[in-house]
Amino acid sequence: MFRHYLALITSTIQKLTLDHMRVLALYALGGFGALWVLYVIISASVYPSLENEPVAEAELLPKFEYAQMPKPGPQTPFEDANGKTLTLGAKKGKVLLVNFWATWCAPCIEEMPTLDRLQAELGGPDFEVVAINLNREGMAEAKAYLTRNNLSNLAAYNEKGFKFPRAIGVSGLPVTLLIDRNGLEIGRQLGPEEWDSRAAKAFLMRYIER
């Protein structure tokens, strides 16, 4: 019986002309293409895109420098908009992005709007952008600058003795520290950053959600 079927198949193949073979090849190719398209569609709907895969923290903010080990954040006194003296310890329990800036610092001026938008989006009981102005002119200049540039989401803070940079061992501006809920410095970044970018927010949310 098997030999009979084999002989029948062989005879059929021998009777196929070259044109028949070409037609069959086209049908086979078309069927394969249709199956491939169907596979791509199903894969896209079932499996997450590579763009949504977790990204290493170092890839999100490559200029961010981690502290070798968590250490207490600086406790240099500074002034709020009401003239009250406080330290970062007063904000313990929140994740803090502490930015040091000045109105005469061009890179600072460039990144201030990004900090303002970040505070508007993520600011609340778990997170705050603490932008501390280091102008020697004092709080009046800091408040005037924020008002003049419509940076309404940032609270006005000032430290006019330039003690903070010395306390944290830096001389240039801007510099930004990331402080965890326990008041420990996670790390810092020297130079400006787009703090409201998708990468920066993803980086910060990893600490806010802990």
d(CA 107, CA 33): 54
pLDDT at 131: 98
Tokens 């502290």 -> residue: 67
d(CA 71, CA 89): 13
Of 162, 129, 139, residue with least CA distance to 85 = 139
Q: Which tokens in the block code for residue 55?
A: 């990204």
Q: Which tokens in the block code for residue 118?
A: 């970040």
Q: Are 186 and 207 in contact (CB under 8 A)?
A: yes
Q: Which tokens in the block code for residue 161?
A: 């003795």
Q: What type of residue sits at position 74?
A: P
The pTM is what?
0.73
Whether residue 54 is preceded by a cis peptide bond, meaning omega within 30 degrees of 0, is no
Residues (pLDDT < 70) of the chain are: 1-58
Of 149, 158, 4, residue with least CA distance to 78 = 158
pLDDT at 51: 38
End-to-end CA separation in angstroms for the chain = 72
| 205 phi, psi to nearest 5 deg | -65, -25
Chosen CATH of 57-208 out of 3.40.30.10, 3.40.50.12280, 3.50.50.60, 2.120.10.80? 3.40.30.10
Q: Which tokens in the block code for residue 108?
A: 């600072």
Return the sign of the alpha-carbon dihedral for residues 124, 107, 85, 64.
positive
Q: What type of residue sits at position 114?
A: T
d(CA 43, CA 31): 18
Which residues pair with residue 89 across a beta bridge? none
H helix runs in 86-188, sequence order: 106-122, 139-148, 163-168
pLDDT at 5: 47
pLDDT at 33: 52
d(CA 51, CA 123): 26
Going by the DSSP 8-state scheme, the letter that residue 138 receives in this structure is -
